Structures are given as structure tokens and as C-alpha cells.
């Protein structure tokens, strides 16, 4: 067992094949799964742009752009940024990434099933659908250990075990429908991510290379 489950992989519904194209993929993983590190390694290997919606929003807010002000208006009220606005931002960032590198790794979107359904339909229509959606499977006990250790080293006293468990429960509730949707599309690749960082990188890259062909 190399740490990758391919049972959810089959020809994706409506996916446009493009031999020789750059990687197009989504990355969905719980807090503590090592997503940030793996995203950097995946992008470096395939030569594509890493799109983090969180980073995009923070950059726009800090720069005081029109988009940033609109996003900030929702965040300041404690509201979620509407799906339509998030979708438009993601569409723009993906187009920039495609123009610059020919591919993308999207991290942090979609977060809801309606976002996933809308984004997939648009991407298929544009011929830029993802080759695969990668998720990292890590036992809950391992995630708790990692996040508790991170909170201690970062001095985050608010990261109690109860708080961390709640964050993971929210993640599970939000992402379970997404993973079911992408599994139904034949796009889901599950990686056993409780291995060494290098091993996770190795099996993830191998799975993505297979998905591109």
C-alpha cells in the first residue's frame, strides 16, 4: 500500500482531456494535515500556480482594493463572503494562473456543495476542469496531536483540545458533501497523509501524474 486510494478515481463526468497540459487540481484537507507544505511541493514539481483563496482575500483587503473593501464589509459584520463573490474571485485567479503557468492548484475553494457544483459546471464548460481533487486522510488522534503541538509552539492559548476538536468537526461537516460530490464525478484521490512528509509528497505526485493521463 503506497498510501493512495484510487477507488474513487474513474473517468470524470464531462472532463475535457488535454494531453500535454499542465496540472489542474483542487486540494481539500483538514487542519493539521500538512496541506501548506504539500501544496508548495506539488506546485514546484508541476510548475503551476498555487491559488489560496484565503491569501487572495487577505491580499486584497490589505491593499484596500475595491474587491478588498467588499470582502472586508462582510468579514467585519461576521458574515460569510457570498458564494457569487468568492466564485468570481476564484475564476479571475484561475485565469491568471492559466495565463502564467498553464495550470493551477486551488486551495481553500470550494467550501460548500453549491460552490463545488457551480464551479465544476463552469470549469467543464470552459474546458479547464480539474484533473483531480486531492484530499489527505489523517487519523483524528494524529491531527489533534499535531494541532495541539502547533498551538503550544505558537503560543496560541486559545487552541485548547475542545476548540481544535470543534474546528475538525466543522471541517468534517462542511467537506463531507464535497468529497461525496467529487467522488461521484470520478475525480477524488484520497492520500493517507499520516506518513512522512516526503512519502506523502511522493504518492501525491504519482497519483496526480496518473490522473493527468
- Report cis status (omega within 30 of 0) of the bond before 165: no
Catalytic residues: 35, 111, 150, 156, 167
pLDDT at 20: 45
* pLDDT of the residue at 86: 83
Is residue 117 a part of any domain in this protein?
A: yes
- Domains: count for the chain: 1
pLDDT along the chain (213 residues), means of 10: 46 40 92 92 96 86 90 82 83 89 90 85 84 95 89 64 88 89 94 95 97 90
CB 33 within 8 A of CB 136: yes
Q: Give domain status of residue 90, yes or no.
A: no
| Cα(5)–Cα(67) distance, integer angstroms | 39
Inside any domain, residue 180:
yes
Closest CA to 23 of 131, 134, 123, 136: 131
- Interatomic CA distance for residues 110 and 100, integer angstroms: 22
Does residue 24 belong to any structural domain of this protein?
Answer: yes
The whole-angstrom separation of Cα 171 and Cα 102 is: 30
Residue 157, in any domain of the structure: yes
Question: Can you give the length of the chain in residues?
Answer: 213
Q: What is the pLDDT of residue 136?
A: 95
* Exposure string over 134-166, b if 16+ CB within 10 A, otherwise e: bbbebeeeebbebbeeebeeeeeeebeeeebee
* Res 195: pLDDT: 93
Quick check: is 79 in a domain? no
Judge whether 199 lies within some domain: yes
Distances (CA, A) of 41 to 36, 50, 51, 115: 9, 10, 14, 26
Domain range for residue 116? 4-53+103-211
Is 124 within the bounds of a domain? yes
pLDDT computed for residue 194 by the predictor: 92
Contacts of 157 (CB under 8 A, 6+ apart): 151
CATH number of the domain where residue 33 is located = 3.40.50.300
Amino acid at each position: 500500500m503506497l498510501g493512495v486510494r484510487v477507488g474513487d478515481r474513474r473517468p470524470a463526468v464531462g472532463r475535457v482531456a488535454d494531453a500535454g497540459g499542465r496540472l489542474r487540481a483542487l486540494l481539500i484537507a483538514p487542519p493539521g494535515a500538512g496541506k501548506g507544505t504539500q501544496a508548495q511541493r506539488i506546485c514546484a514539481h508541476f510548475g503551476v500556480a498555487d491559488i489560496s483563496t484565503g491569501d487572495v482575500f487577505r491580499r486584497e483587503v490589505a491593499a484596500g482594493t475595491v474587491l478588498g473593501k467588499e470582502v472586508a464589509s462582510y468579514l467585519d459584520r461576521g458574515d460569510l463572503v457570498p458564494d457569487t463573490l468568492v466564485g468570481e474571485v476564484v475564476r479571475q485567479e484561475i485565469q491568471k494562473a492559466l495565463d502564467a503557468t498553464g495550470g493551477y492548484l486551488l486551495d481553500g475553494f470550494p467550501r460548500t456543495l453549491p460552490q463545488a457544483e457551480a464551479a465544476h459546471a463552469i470549469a467543464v464548460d470552459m474546458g479547464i476542469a480539474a484533473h483531480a481533487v486531492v484530499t489527505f486522510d489523517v487519523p483524528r488522534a494524529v491531527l489533534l496531536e499535531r494541532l495541539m503541538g502547533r498551538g503550544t509552539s505558537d503560543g496560541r492559548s486559545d487552541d485548547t483540545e475542545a476548540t481544535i476538536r470543534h474546528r475538525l468537526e466543522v471541517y468534517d461537516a462542511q467537506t463531507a458533501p464535497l468529497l461525496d460530490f467529487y467522488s461521484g464525478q470520478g475525480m477524488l484521490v484520497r492520500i493517507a497523509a499520516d506518513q512522512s512528509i516526503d512519502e506523502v509528497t511522493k504518492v501525491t505526485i504519482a497519483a496526480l501524474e496518473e490522473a493527468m493521463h
